């Protein structure tokens, strides 16, 4: 099997890169082993929320300049501030073209409501979630927070109590309540089935739409805005939009505990676009090992194609971090399993020194979270001290930064993905 580009991993980074390559006429294959981080994410995408000192970022250009001083190995520092912002803007246009329904700007962060009623800064959010710009007051003042009876991943009372403490909601009255949907009883009988994905399937496909609208209207009473858990609409935002119109009140959805419908929708839309463009998706397969020649990587073998190797002119490693097995560890060694690429981290992190992987305080940023493969400013991967000309890394598999600490996970994924697509098309 021969392709222009073989991509390992079909999460946010792999798909963003693959769609752009496919749009430029490159024939791509994605080898993808399973669910990705985006299926568990809030649906909001962070570009840069904090520095390592904890200082919050308002304006990206200033924040990125400061980051470059703090963390020279961060992918944004390697690419430079100008290119990072250019690629972030390109992703926003791309998201618009895909109708992902995201709002936000590449100038500054906005604020979004978290599932527990906190406020956090982010770059892009689904336009169905409650957001504020410049810490302005939320534009509604009577808010019905409606849970679903028996659904424990969304607690309306706790959300309302916590939101009352936020200055942006100080002018609001909250009325927490539950919507009662008898059709959900069959799911309730098995607690493990009572998840946002299963609820969404039932509400969208098996429940009379009119009944759902009536139940929401009655529970909301005289509110001028409704907050619901994100359990409405599995494939895209269309079902949620239809519900909003029928209820006739401003409705917002909040991310729930994972799995997250807001992230799953984005993942589905990206996968569909890739396949519409003629890309090949090898789902349920796993890249195992690679062979090299003088040009770099020559072929890769996968679990389902152990005899018949995949050859390509370019290879993109988009396999994610520890969460997705893009990085692995044994007792005293952290490694990248497919290419055995060089691993870096920051501060005291040493890939072969287990004691350097963690901080004693559980809540401190953990050094192992900054582990990942070493790249250069073209996102080429380093192996045994040399950069491999036709092997690139994108997204969470890259080292030198801690996405959780800095709030930059999705931003790094899309920025590096677009840089690599441009590199490959230019060659
Ligand atoms: C639980 C969780 C929640 C998050 N929430 C947010 C959020 O709300 N906002 C935000 O901005 N960021 C969030 N992040 C950060 C997130 O990492 C990035 O946003 C981004 O989605 C990472 O994408 P990726 O494509 O690099 O990696 P991943 O999404 O991890 O995708 C890697 C894919 O590669 C596959 N794979 C791995 N190895 C192989 C192999 N050998 N062969 C074939 N396939 C392979 C995996 O199965 C997986 O599907 C979250 C991360 C996690 C883990």
Q: In this structure, which residue's CA is closest to atom 6 in ligand 1?
A: 41
CA of 384 to the centre of ligand 1 (A): 26
The closest-lying atom of ligand 1 relative to the alpha carbon of residue 255 is 8
The closest-lying atom of ligand 1 relative to the alpha carbon of residue 395 is 26
Beta strand 110-113 pairing with 119-122: antiparallel
pLDDT tens-digit readout, 37-86: 999 999 999 999 999 999 999 999 999 999 999 999 999 999 999 999 99
196-212 residues labelled b (16+ CB within 10 A) or e (exposed)? bebbbebbbeeeeeeeb
> CA-to-CA distance for 75 and 365, rounded, in angstroms?
18
Give mean pLDDT, residues 268-289: 97
Give the number of other CB atoms < 10 A from CB of residue 281.
18
Work out the percent of the chain whose per-residue pLDDT is above 70.
Answer: 99
Residue 191 has pLDDT above 70, yes or no: no
> pLDDT category, 152, cuts 50, 70, 90?
confident
pLDDT tens-digit readout, 260-278: 899 999 999 999 999 999 9
pLDDT tens-digit readout, 292-349: 999 899 999 999 988 889 999 999 999 999 999 999 999 999 999 999 999 999 888 9
Work out the percent of the chain whose per-residue pLDDT is above 90.
Answer: 83
CA of 69 to the centre of ligand 1 (A): 27
With H, G, I as helix, E, B as strand and everything else as coil, classify residue 214. Answer: helix
Q: What is the pLDDT of residue 219?
A: 94
Q: Quick one: which of 371, 329, 364, 369 has its CA closest to 350? A: 371
> pLDDT category, 258, cuts 50, 70, 90?
confident
Average pLDDT, the chain: 94
The more confidently predicted of residues 259 and 255 is: 255
Ligand 1 binding residues, C-beta < 6 A: 8-14, 31-38, 40-42, 44-46, 286-287, 318-320, 323-326, 338, 395-396, 403, 409-410, 413
The phi, psi pair for 36, rounded to 5°, reads: -120, 170
CA of 214 to the centre of ligand 1 (A): 38
389-409 residues labelled b (16+ CB within 10 A) or e (exposed)? ebbbbbbbbbbbbbbebbbbb
Q: For residue 21, what are the CA distances in angstroms to 30, 277, 389?
A: 12, 10, 18
Tokens of 158: 């706790």
Q: What is the pLDDT of residue 176?
A: 96
With H, G, I as helix, E, B as strand and everything else as coil, classify residue 291. Answer: strand
Please spell the DSSP secondary structure of 337-402, one letter per residue. Answer: TTT---EE-STT--TT-GGGS--SSTTSPPGGGG-EE-B-TT-EEEETTEEEEEEEE-GGGB-S--
CA of 332 to the centre of ligand 1 (A): 24
Give mean pLDDT, residues 93-118: 95
């Amino acid at each position: 099997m021969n392709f222009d580009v073989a991509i390992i991993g079909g999460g946010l980074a792999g798909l963003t890169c693959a769609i752009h390559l496919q749009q430029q006429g490159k024939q791509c294959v994605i080898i993808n082993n399973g669910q990705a981080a985006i299926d568990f994410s809030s649906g909001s995408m962070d570009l840069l929320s904090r520095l390592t000192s904890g200082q919050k970022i308002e304006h990206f250009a200033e924040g990125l300049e400061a980051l470059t001083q703090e963390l020279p190995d961060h992918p944004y520092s390697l690419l430079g501030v100008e290119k990072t912002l250019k690629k972030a803007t390109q992703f926003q246009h791309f998201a618009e073209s895909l109708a992902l329904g995201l709002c936000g700007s590449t100038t500054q962060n906005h604020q979004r409501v978290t599932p527990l009623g906190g406020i956090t800064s982010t770059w892009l959010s689904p336009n169905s979630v409650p957001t504020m710009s410049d810490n302005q007051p939320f534009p509604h003042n009577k808010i019905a927070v409606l849970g679903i009876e028996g659904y424990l991943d969304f607690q309306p009372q706790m959300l309302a109590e916590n939101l009352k403490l936020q200055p942006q909601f100080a002018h609001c009255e909250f009325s927490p309540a539950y919507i009662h949907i008898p059709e959900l009883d069959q799911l309730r009988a098995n607690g493990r089935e009572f998840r946002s994905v299963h609820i969404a399937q039932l509400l969208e496909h098996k429940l009379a739409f009119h009944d759902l609208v009536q139940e929401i209207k009655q529970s909301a009473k005289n509110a001028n805005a409704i907050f619901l858990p994100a359990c409405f609409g599995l494939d895209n935002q269309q079902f949620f939009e239809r519900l909003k119109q029928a209820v006739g009140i401003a409705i917002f959805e909040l991310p729930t505990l994972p799995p997250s419908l807001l992230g799953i929708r984005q993942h589905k839309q990206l996968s569909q676009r890739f396949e519409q463009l003629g890309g090949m998706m090898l789902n349920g397969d796993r890249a195992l090992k690679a062979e090299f020649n003088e040009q770099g990587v020559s072929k890769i073998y996968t679990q389902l194609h152990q005899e018949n190797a995949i050859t390509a002119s370019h290879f993109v490693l988009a396999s994610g971090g520890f969460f997705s097995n893009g990085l692995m560890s044994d007792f005293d060694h952290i490694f990248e399993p497919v290419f055995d690429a060089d691993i870096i981290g920051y501060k005291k992190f040493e890939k072969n020194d287990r004691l350097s992987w963690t901080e004693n305080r559980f809540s401190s940023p953990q050094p192992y979270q900054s582990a990942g493969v070493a790249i250069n400013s073209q996102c080429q991967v380093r192996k045994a001290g040399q950069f491999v000309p036709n092997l690139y890394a994108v997204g969470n598999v890259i080292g030198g930064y801690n996405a959780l600490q800095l709030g930059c996970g999705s931003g790094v994924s899309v920025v590096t993905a677009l840089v690599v697509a441009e590199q490959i098309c230019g060659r």
